[in-house]
Structure 1
Amino acid sequence: MKWIEEELHEIEKTSLKRRLRETVPIVDKPGFIARGGRTLLNLSSNDYLGLAQHPGIVEAMRDSLLIEGAGAGASRLVTGNRKPYALLEEAIAEWQRSGKALVFANGYMANIGVISAIVNRYDAVFSDQLNHASIVDGIILSRAEHARYRHNDMEHLRYLLNKHRNKRRKLIVTDSVFSMDGDQAPLHELAKLKQEYNAILMVDEAHSGGIYGLYGEGLSHVLGLKHMVDIHVGTFSKAFGMYGAYVCASDTLVNLLVNKARSFIYSTALPPAVVTGIRKALDYVVRESWRRERLFELSSSFRSSLCEAGFKVGDGDSPIIPLILGENDTALRFSHALEEEGIAAVAIRPPTVPKGTARIRFSLSAALTPIEVRDAVLKISKVGHQLGVLK
C-alpha cells in the first residue's frame, strides 16, 4: 500500500492535505466555537440565521426523543416513516407553495437521488461549472451526457442546448447562490432557456433557502420564478441550523422519486427527533424575519469594509464572502494567522474551487453582532498586512 503514502505526500507537498479538527460549540455565546482550548469567532459556519443552538429547537427535539426514541430503525419505505415526516413535508410544501415535498437525509443525497432518478444515458444534463459536487456526482451516477457550461454564461448554455437538442430529456440544473463564491445564478435567463428548449429546470437553493424571500422561501420566490422551477431542492443544514434536505415538485414527480430515487429508498430515515427539530426551525425561519435583516446588514458591512481595506472579495449580497488569495499555501497561512487572532476561517482550496483561486470563504451569521464583525475586519486587515496580501 505504499502508493497511499506517496499520494498523501503529494497532496501535502501542494498544500492540499486536509485534517479533521475537533470544535466545540459555546452554547451561551452564539457565533463562537472552542478549539484547542481557545475561543474563536466562527466565520466559517453555514448557520446563517443563528438557529443551531436555539433552545426552542433543542426542547422540541428533547420532547420528541421521549416519544419517538433515538432512531427510526428502518428506511421510510419499510417501517421508518413516522408521523413527524408527514407533518414536516406538509409544512414544507405549504411554505414553498408547492404540490408536494419529500425529505432526504441531506443535500448530497437529495441531489444524487433526484438527478439519477429522472435522467439516464439517453438524456443530457446542463450544469454550471461551479455547481456543488453533489450535483456533479448525481450527473455521473445518472450516466446522462454531462454538458457543463461556463459559470453563468448563458450563450455557452444556449450553444450546448442546441448541440444536444435531440436528447430525449434535457435537464438544466444550477445552484441559486453558489457556495464558494456567493454570487447568484441568472435564474430569469435560465427560465427562458428552459421554455425555449423544452427542458426541465432544477434549482438548488441550499445557500438561499431561509435567507431570501419574505418568509425565507428562497431566491426563486423573490424573483417571481417559483412557477418556472420544476424541481426545487433545499437543505436544513444551513439557514435552519439543522440537518437534512427537501425536494419540492409536483405530486407526480415526488411520487416518482419515492419509487426511483435510490438515495431515498435505501437510506435509513432521519431520526424522528431531528425531523421534529426541523419543523420547529421552520417556524423560526418563517416568523423571525429580523434574523434575515440582521444577516444582510452584517454581510453588507463586512463585504464593504474588506473592500475598503483593499482586499479582493467576490461580488453579491449573500452572507458568503470569499477573499480570493490565489495560492494554496497563502490561503493556509492566512487561515492559521487568523486563528492566532481568534478567528476561525477555513482555507478553501482545489478541487473545491478552481486552481489558482484558493481563498478564505467567510460566511456570516445573524448570531454575530456589529461590534464583533468590525473587530474581525480589523484583525483580517492586520493579517493581510503581515502576510503581504495588503500593501
Structure 2
Amino acid sequence: MLDYRAFFADKIAEIQANGQYRTFVEIERLAGRFPAALHHHPDGPREITVWCSNDHLGMGQHPAVVAAMQGSIERSGAAAGGSRNISGTNRTHVLLEREVAELHNKERGLTFITGYAVNDAVLDVLGKLLPGVIFFSDEQNHASMILGMRATRAERRIFRHNDPAHLEELLAAADPEAPKVVAFESIYSMDGDVAPMPELCAVAKRHNALVYVDEAHSVGMYGPGGAGMAAQLGCADQVDLLMGTFAKGYGTAGGYVVGDGPVVDAVRSFAPAFIFTLAMPPALAAAALASVRHLRESDNERLLLHHRAGMLQGLFQEAGIPLVSTESHIVPVLVGDPHLCKRLADRLLNDHLCYAQPINFPSVPRGTERLRINPSPVHSPAAVRHFVSAVDEVWDELGLPRATPVPGAAAGVTPVGVGTAL
C-alpha cells in the first residue's frame, strides 16, 4: 500500500535537492517607513530593507489609501459578507468599477478578489462561450493565463515570445471563420521586458481577433494617469479586454477587467471564478479606489519609480552585474544557478539586511535563476547605492561571473517610455 506521508516527503526532498524548494522570509512591513520592515529572525526581530515587494509605488502606506481602508472598516466591517450576487456588492465596488472603466476609457469594469481570478474567469468565459474559439498565447504568459485557457479545452496555439511575425503566421494559418483570442502581457514580470503592443494588436485586428492583455505589471506605473502600457504606447483602443491588478502599482489587493459592456457582463454572468467566490472586502475596494484616484492625478510616484529603476540598472551595469533586461522598472539580476541564487539572497539578508527573494524554476526556466529586484519611490538614492554595493560584495564572495561593465551607465539609463530622470 502507498505510504502517503513518505510519498509527499520524497517529493519535497526532490525539490530541495534541485534547488526548487521555496522558503518563507517572515517580515512585518513598517507603515510610514517602508521599505523598512522587521525580519523575524531566529535570533530576534531586526530591521531590514525590502527589495522584492510588488508594492512598486509604495501606495500600500499612502495616507489617503490607509485612511480609506480604515474608514471603510469603521462603516462596513472587515468583509463583504457574501458573493457579489448574494449580499456582497458594496457601493464601493460599484464606484471602483466605474473608476477603472473611466481610467481605461472602456464601457465597463468588473472587480475580483485576486488578479489570478480575473485571468481564470475571463479566459474561461471566452473559451467556453465562443464556439470553436482558438487562443493565440504568448509562450511566456503568466501561469494564471495558461491554466485559464487550458481548462477550457479550447484549441491553443503558442506564438514565440513578443514575436508579431510568428503571431501573423499562426493567425494566417487558422480558419478565417473561427473566433480568435490573442492573449499576452504588457510587461513580463520575471524578465521585465515590454511587449511590442502596437504591432501585436495590429496583427490581431487584421485577423478579426479579440485582444486580451494582462497589464498587471504596468497599471498605475505607466501611461496617462497610470492607465498602463497600452495607453502609453497609443494602442489602448485596440485592446478589447484589459486585465489589471490593485496588488502592484496600487499597493492594495484584488484585480479587475475592463472592456465592452456585453463582454464584461458575460464574465459577470457566466464565470465560476466570479460567481462562486467572496466579494472583495469593501475596505480593500475603498483602499484601491483611493489609490487609483490619487495616481490618476499624481505623476510624482511614477517619475520617482523610473528614476530609481534607471539608477539601479545603471549602477549594476557599471559593476558588471548581469541583468536579464533593462526595459522596465523590474530589475532582474541573472545568477543562473538555484543554489548560488539562494546563497546570494541569504547573504544579502543575513549580512547586509537587504531582502531580495531568489526566483527559481518553475517561475523561470532552469539556468536563468535570478533575484528580481523591485525598486520604488520609497527607496532613497542612498539606499540604492548601498544595495548595489552589497550585491557587488557578495557577488565577489561567491565567485559569480560578471558581465562586461558599462561605464557611466547610471547616468544614462532611462526605462522605456520615461522622460528625463529626476
Q: Same fold (TM over 0.5)?
A: yes
1:125 pairs, out of 132, 135, 145, with 135
8 Å CA contact retained: 1:331, 1:359: yes
Q: 1:225 and 2:235 equivalent? A: yes
Q: What residue in structure 1 maps to residue 202 of structure 2?
A: 192
Q: What residue in structure 2 maps to residue 274 of structure 1?
A: 284
1:382 pairs, out of 393, 398, 407, with 393
Q: What residue in structure 2 maps to residue 358 of structure 1?
A: 369
SS of residue in 2 equivalent to 1:74: coil
* Match runs of 1:201-240 below 5 Å: 201-240=211-250
**Stretch moving more, 166-175 or 324-333:** 166-175
SS of residue in 2 equivalent to 1:52: helix
Which amino acid letter does the alignment assign opposite residue 93 of structure 2? Y
Q: CA deviation at 1:130?
A: 1.4
Q: What residue in structure 1 maps to residue 294 of structure 2?
A: 284
2:166 pairs, out of 147, 156, 164, with 156
1:326 pairs, out of 336, 342, 351, with 336
- Any stretches of 5+ residues in structure 1 without a counterpart? none
Q: 1:135 and 2:120 equivalent? A: no
Cα separation, 1, equivalents of 2:378 and 2:294: 14
CA spacing shift, 1:196–1:43, aligned 2, 3 Å: same
8 Å CA contact retained: 2:348, 2:391: yes
Cα separation, 2, equivalents of 1:191 and 1:316: 23
How many pairs were matched up?
391
Structure 2 length as normaliser, TM-score? 0.90
Cα separation, 2, equivalents of 1:275 and 1:60: 9
1:43 pairs, out of 51, 73, 82, with 51
Q: CA deviation at 1:19?
A: 2.2
Cα separation, 2, equivalents of 1:96 and 1:276: 19
Q: What residue in structure 1 maps to residue 414 of structure 2?
A: none
Which amino acid letter does the alignment assign opposite residue 386 of structure 1? E
Q: CA deviation at 1:166?
A: 4.9
Q: 1:297 and 2:307 equivalent? A: yes
Q: CA deviation at 1:20?
A: 2.6
Cα separation, 2, equivalents of 1:152 and 1:56: 38
Structure 1 length as normaliser, TM-score? 0.97
Which amino acid letter does the alignment assign opposite residue 357 of structure 1? T
8 Å CA contact retained: 2:185, 2:214: yes
Q: What residue in structure 2 maps to residue 95 of structure 1?
A: 103
SS of residue in 2 equivalent to 1:75: coil
Q: CA deviation at 1:390?
A: 4.4
Which amino acid letter does the alignment assign opposite residue 133 of structure 1? A
Deviations 1:63-118 (A, max 9, x none): 11121122111111111111111111111111111111111111100001000101
SS of residue in 1 equivalent to 2:225: coil
Q: 1:260 and 2:278 equivalent? A: no
Q: CA deviation at 1:227?
A: 0.7
Q: What residue in structure 1 maps to residue 37 of structure 2?
A: 33
8 Å CA contact retained: 2:115, 2:254: yes
Q: CA deviation at 1:315?
A: 2.4
Cα separation, 1, equivalents of 2:32 and 2:94: 33
Cα separation, 2, equivalents of 1:263 and 1:238: 21
**Stretch moving more, 141-150 or 111-120:** 141-150
SS of residue in 2 equivalent to 1:146: strand
8 Å CA contact retained: 1:242, 1:277: yes
Q: CA deviation at 1:324?
A: 1.1
- Any stretches of 5+ residues in structure 2 without a counterpart? 403-422
> Pairwise CA RMSD of aligned residues?
1.4
Cα separation, 2, equivalents of 1:64 and 1:301: 38
Q: 1:112 and 2:116 equivalent? A: no
8 Å CA contact retained: 2:313, 2:326: no
Q: CA deviation at 1:154?
A: 2.3
% same residue: 32
Q: What residue in structure 2 maps to residue 15 of structure 1?
A: 19
8 Å CA contact retained: 1:124, 1:167: no
**Stretch moving more, 50-59 or 236-245:** 50-59
Q: CA deviation at 1:229?
A: 0.2
8 Å CA contact retained: 2:216, 2:244: yes
Cα separation, 2, equivalents of 1:344 and 1:237: 19
Cα separation, 2, equivalents of 1:20 and 1:371: 28
Cα separation, 2, equivalents of 1:202 and 1:242: 23
Cα separation, 2, equivalents of 1:371 and 1:21: 24
Q: What residue in structure 2 maps to residue 78 of structure 1?
A: 86
Cα separation, 1, equivalents of 2:152 and 2:178: 14
SS of residue in 2 equivalent to 1:33: strand
8 Å CA contact retained: 2:198, 2:234: no
Which amino acid letter does the alignment assign opposite residue 293 of structure 1? L
8 Å CA contact retained: 1:119, 1:169: no
Cα separation, 2, equivalents of 1:152 and 1:206: 17
Deviations 1:334-385 (A, max 9, x none): 1111112111001100110112111111111111111111111111111111
Q: What residue in structure 1 maps to residue 409 of structure 2?
A: none
8 Å CA contact retained: 1:123, 1:167: no
Q: CA deviation at 1:264?
A: 0.7
Which amino acid letter does the alignment assign opposite residue 16 of structure 1? Q
Q: What residue in structure 2 maps to residue 177 of structure 1?
A: 187
Cα separation, 2, equivalents of 1:12 and 1:167: 49
Q: CA deviation at 1:62?
A: 1.3
